[in-house]
Structure 1
Amino acid sequence: MSTSQKNADDTLKNDEEASPQPSRTEVQRTRQWISSALKQLTTFGQTRTAHQQTALAALTVACIGVFITALDQTVVVTALPQIISDLQIPITQLDHASWIISAYLLGFVVAMPLMGRVSDIHGRRRIFQLCLTIFGLGSLLCAIAPLLGKTFDLHFLSVFDAIHLHIDTTSPGLTWLISARLFQAIGGGALVPVAMAIASDFYGDKRRGLALGIIGAVTEAGGVLGPLYGALIVEHLGWQYIFYLNIPLVLGLMIATQRFIPKGIRLQEGTDWLGALLLGLALTCLGLGLAQQGTSLGLTASHASNPQNNPLALVLALLFFIAFIVVERKVRWPVVELSLFKRLPFIATSLVSLLVGAALIIAMADIPIFVD
C-alpha cells in the first residue's frame, strides 16, 4: 500500500472517530419524548370531561373522514386516461379533463375557511354529518355521471351565452362529472376545519398542537396515496368504483360520528356569508382566467387562435379579491383573519405551500393526460 493511500485511510478513520455519534442517553431521551407526546393524546384538557376512549375514538373518526376526502383530491389522476376514453372527450379538448381535478380543489379550498365557523355556531356533529352527506351524494353523482350525460340534455345551459359565459356541452358526461366533483369537494373540504375543531374541543392547549398535527399529516397522506389507490381501483374494478366505494365508507363514518362525536357547544355568533361568496367567486374567476377553457368567458379577440388565459376573468378575480379584503376588514367574524398576513413566517409558509401545491397538481394532472 502506498504512503499516500495509507495517509488517506488514516484521515478517513480519524474523521469517522471524530464525527459526533448519538449517545444511548440521547436516543432514550428522544424515545421518551415521542412516547410522552403520544401519551398526551390519551388525556383530556380541562374543557372536556368525557372518557379517554371517547376522545381517541372521536379523533380517529375525524382522521378517517379527512383521509378519505383528501384521497379524492388526487385519486382521479391515474384514472384520467380511462375517464377520457369512457366519456369520449375529443382529443382537441383534453385540457377540459383537467377540470375533473381542478373543480374538486376549487370546492375544497372555498369550503375550508367557512365551515369551521359554521360548526362553532351549529354544532360539530351536525356539521360533520352534513359534510359527509354532501361528500357521499357528490361521490354517487360522480359515479353515475356517464349515465346522467346520456339521460339529461344540457342544451339549456346555452342561456348563459347571453352574458358571454359559454359552457361547452359537447361532452355531457364530462360536464356532469365536473359539476359533481365541485359539489363533492364542498363536503370534503369542509371536513378538514371541522375535524380540527373537534380535536381542539377534546384536547387542551398543551395537547392541541399534536392532535392538529396528526390531522394535518393524515390530510397530506391522503393526497400522496390518492394516485396509487386510484390506480389499483381502476385496474381491478373501473374508475366509477373510485366513487362508489366512498358511499359505504361515508355510511360507516355517519354511524361512528353519531356514536363518538359530541354535539358541541353552539356559539351565538354570526357567519360571514358575503365574504365566503366573494372568495369563492374570486377563486373561480382566477381558475377560469388561468385555464385555456377560460377563454369562453367574455369577449375574446377573433384573431386569437388558442390563448391560454382570459383577461376578463382575471380582472373579475382581482375585483372580487379586492371586495373580499374590504369586507373582511369590516365584518366582526371574518372568514379569513387578515391580521395573520402581518406575520412574515405566515406569509412565507403560505407562499411556499402555494408554489409547491401548484407544481404538484400541474404535474399530476398533465402527465397522465399527455403521456398515456
Structure 2
Amino acid sequence: MRKKEATQRDIPIPETNVKWVVAGLLAAMFIGALDATVVATATPHMIADLHGETLFSWVFAVYTLTTCVATPIFGKLADLFGRKAVFAVGIGLFVLGSILCGAAQSMTGLIWFRALQGFGAGALAPVCFTILGDVFSGKQRGKMMGVFSSVWSVAGLLGPLIGGYFVDRLSWRWIFYINVPIAAVAVLLVVVFLHQPIKRQAKKIDYFGGLTFTVSFSALLYALLSGGSAYPWDSSLIVGLFAASVVFLLLFLWIEKREAEPMIPLSIFRIRVLNVTNMSGFLTFSITTGLTVYSPIWIQSVLGHSATSSGLIVMPMTLAWPLASNIAGRLMYRIGVKASIVFGSSLVVVGSIWLVALQINSPYVYWIGILILIGLGMGFVATPSTVVVQSVVGWEQRGVVNASSMLLRSLGQTIGIAVFGTLYNQHVTMLGSPSELASGIHVVFWLMCAVAIANLIVVQLLPKHREVMAQQQSA
C-alpha cells in the first residue's frame, strides 16, 4: 500500500498496524474537534448550575489560551521523547481536564479545569499530524490530510446534536465525560500499534525557553482576548501585557539562539516553504474564524432569519473544506503544491470580494455560494501547506514544524477576532439597526478581503514545485 520515505529515524510499520494507528489518531482528533462545538450547546445550563455569568466567556478563552501555549511545547517534546509517549501524556491531561470539568461545582473551578483540558488539547493536532507525517509518504500524506480534515466537519455536524442530547436527556456534564471512553480507545490503539523505538540518550529540555515562551504568549493572548471588552485597548493593563509579551519574546529568542536543544530551533525559520505557509495559515485562518462569527450575525440580525438558520449558515464552508482537502490531497503532486495553494488562495479572494459586494437585501443563497467558495479555497490551501511543511524536514524536527504551523494558525484566529471585533464595535451600538449592523460588518468584510489579497501575494513566494520536491527528497 505504501512506501516509506527514508528519514533518519523513520521505521516501517506493518500495514495492518497503520490502519489501527490511523483509527486511534482519528478518535483523538474527533474529541478535540468535538469539544470546540459541543460545549457551546450547553452554555445556558452551565450558567444555570454554576452561575458566574460574567466569567463564562473565559470557559472558551482560557481553553484557547492554554492550547496555543501548549502546542509548540508538545511539538518539541514529541521530537525529543517520541510521538507515542507525548501523545499519551497529552491526551491523558485532556481526559483529566474533561473529568474535572464534568465534576466542576463552580464557574471558577470550571475555568481552571478548562485550562488543563486546553493544555492537553495542545498535543492532539500537532502530535497526530506529526505521526501521520512519520508513517505516510508525501503523496499518501495528502490523501490522509483530506481524511483528517473531514473529522472537523463530522464534529461540527454532530457536536450540536450530541450536546443537545446530553443536555436534554442526561446532564451537561456528560459533554465532558463522553471524552473518556473515546480517548481510552485512541490511546490504546496508538500505544499498542505505533512502533517507533527511541534512542536511549540523555535529553536536554529547554526549560527557560519554555517558560519565557509561555509568559510571552500568555500575556499576548490574554491581552487580545480581554482588550476591547473587559478592558479598553489603551488601558494600562492591556498596554502592560503587550509590553511584557514583547520583552519575554525577545528574551525567548535570545535563549533559543544559545540553547543546545532549543524548544523552537530558529534555524527552521530559514526554510522558505515553512515561512510562507505559516504566514498563509496566519492570514487565511483569521478570515475563516471571522466568518464563523459575523456570518450568523448578518443572517439573523440583518436578514431577519431564525437563530437556527444563522447557526447553520457556516455548514456550507464546513462541508466544502474537507471535500476540497480530499481533492487537493490527491491532485497536489500532479498539478504542483504551489499551484494548488495559489488556486485555493484565489478562491478565497473571490469569495471575499463577493462578501464585500453583499447588500443589506442580498438573498440568503448568496451566503451559501460565498461560504462554499471560501471553504473550497481553504481546502486547497490548508492540506498542501500541512503536507509540504512535514516534507521539508526530517524526523528530528517534524514535531516542531507541525507545532509552529498550528501555532501561527491559532494566532491568526485569535488576533483576527480581536481586530475584527474592535472594528465592528467602533461602528455598531448595542441596539444597532439592521443597516447599522450591516455597515459595521461590511467594514470587517473589507478587512477580510484585504487579508485574502495579502495572502494571495504571500503564496506567490512559494518555491516552484520541483524545488519543493527536491527539498522533500533530501529531508
TM-score (norm 2): 0.53
Q: Structure 1 residue 335 and structure 2 residue 240: aligned?
A: no
Q: Which amino acid aligns with 1:274?
A: F
Distance in 1 between the 2:209 and 2:228 partners? Answer: 24
Q: Structure 1 residue 354 and structure 2 residue 354: aligned?
A: no
Does structure 2 conserve the Cα–Cα contact (< 8 Å) formed by 1:108 and 1:188? yes
| Gap change, CA 1:141 and 1:195, over 3 Å in 2 | same
1:180 to 106, 109, 113: 113
Distance in 2 between the 1:212 and 1:273 partners? Answer: 32
Does structure 1 conserve the Cα–Cα contact (< 8 Å) formed by 2:69 and 2:214? yes
Q: Structure 1 residue 194 and structure 2 residue 157: aligned?
A: no
Distance in 2 between the 1:175 and 1:319 partners? Answer: 30
1:280 to 210, 214, 220: 214
2:89 to 108, 115, 130: 130
What displacement does 1:176 show?
Answer: 0.9
Does structure 1 conserve the Cα–Cα contact (< 8 Å) formed by 2:61 and 2:225? no
What displacement does 1:219 show?
Answer: 4.7
What displacement does 1:187 show?
Answer: 1.5
1:323 to 226, 230, 251: 251
Q: Structure 1 residue 215 and structure 2 residue 148: aligned?
A: yes
Give the secondary structure class of the aligned counterpart of 2:195. coil
Counterpart for residue 57 of structure 1: 20
Distance in 2 between the 1:222 and 1:186 partners? Answer: 20
Listed as ranges, the gaps of 5+ residues in structure 1 are 1-41, 147-172
Q: Which amino acid aligns with 2:215?
A: L
After superposition, the C-alpha distances for 1:91-129 in whole angstroms (9 at most, x for unaligned) are xx2xx2111111111122222222122122222222222
Q: Which amino acid aligns with 2:25?
A: A
Counterpart for residue 70 of structure 2: 111
Worse overlay, 61-70 or 334-343 = 334-343
Distance in 2 between the 1:113 and 1:69 partners? Answer: 17
After superposition, the C-alpha distances for 1:329-350 in whole angstroms (9 at most, x for unaligned) are 4445442643358844542332
Distance in 1 between the 2:141 and 2:258 partners? Answer: 30
Q: Which amino acid aligns with 1:350?
A: F
Give the secondary structure class of the aligned counterpart of 1:77. helix
Q: Structure 1 residue 313 and structure 2 residue 241: aligned?
A: yes
Does structure 1 conserve the Cα–Cα contact (< 8 Å) formed by 2:82 and 2:196? yes
Distance in 2 between the 1:72 and 1:178 partners? Answer: 15
Q: Which amino acid aligns with 1:207?
A: Q
Distance in 1 between the 2:132 and 2:50 partners? Answer: 41
Counterpart for residue 203 of structure 1: 136
Q: Structure 1 residue 121 and structure 2 residue 60: aligned?
A: no
Distance in 1 between the 2:278 and 2:225 partners? Answer: 28
Q: Structure 1 residue 99 and structure 2 residue 58: aligned?
A: yes
What displacement does 1:134 show?
Answer: 0.9
Distance in 2 between the 1:345 and 1:133 partners? Answer: 31
| Gap change, CA 1:192 and 1:348, over 3 Å in 2 | closer
What displacement does 1:307 show?
Answer: 6.9
Distance in 1 between the 2:277 and 2:82 partners? Answer: 32
Does structure 2 conserve the Cα–Cα contact (< 8 Å) formed by 1:121 and 1:267? no
| Gap change, CA 1:225 and 1:363, over 3 Å in 2 | farther
Give the secondary structure class of the aligned counterpart of 1:310. helix
Distance in 2 between the 1:263 and 1:78 partners? Answer: 40
The 5 A counterparts of 1:142-153 are 142-146=101-105
Distance in 2 between the 1:117 and 1:292 partners? Answer: 29
What displacement does 1:358 show?
Answer: 5.6
Give the secondary structure class of the aligned counterpart of 1:75. helix
Distance in 1 between the 2:110 and 2:100 partners? Answer: 7
Pairs aligned (count): 290
What displacement does 1:58 show?
Answer: 0.7
Q: Structure 1 residue 78 and structure 2 residue 10: aligned?
A: no
What displacement does 1:247 show?
Answer: 1.5
- Specify the structure having the higher radius of gyration (Cα): 1
TM-score (norm 1): 0.66
Q: Structure 1 residue 240 and structure 2 residue 199: aligned?
A: no
Give the secondary structure class of the aligned counterpart of 1:183. helix
Distance in 2 between the 1:217 and 1:88 partners? Answer: 36
Give the secondary structure class of the aligned counterpart of 1:145. coil
What displacement does 1:222 show?
Answer: 3.6
Does structure 2 conserve the Cα–Cα contact (< 8 Å) formed by 1:294 and 1:310? no
What displacement does 1:237 show?
Answer: 1.9
| Gap change, CA 1:122 and 1:266, over 3 Å in 2 | farther
**What's the RMSD between the two structures over aligned residues?**
3.5
Give the secondary structure class of the aligned counterpart of 1:76. helix
Q: Which amino acid aligns with 1:281?
A: V
Worse overlay, 220-229 or 270-279 = 220-229
Give the secondary structure class of the aligned counterpart of 2:122. helix
Give the secondary structure class of the aligned counterpart of 1:277. helix
Q: Structure 1 residue 140 and structure 2 residue 99: aligned?
A: yes
Q: Structure 1 residue 259 and structure 2 residue 192: aligned?
A: yes
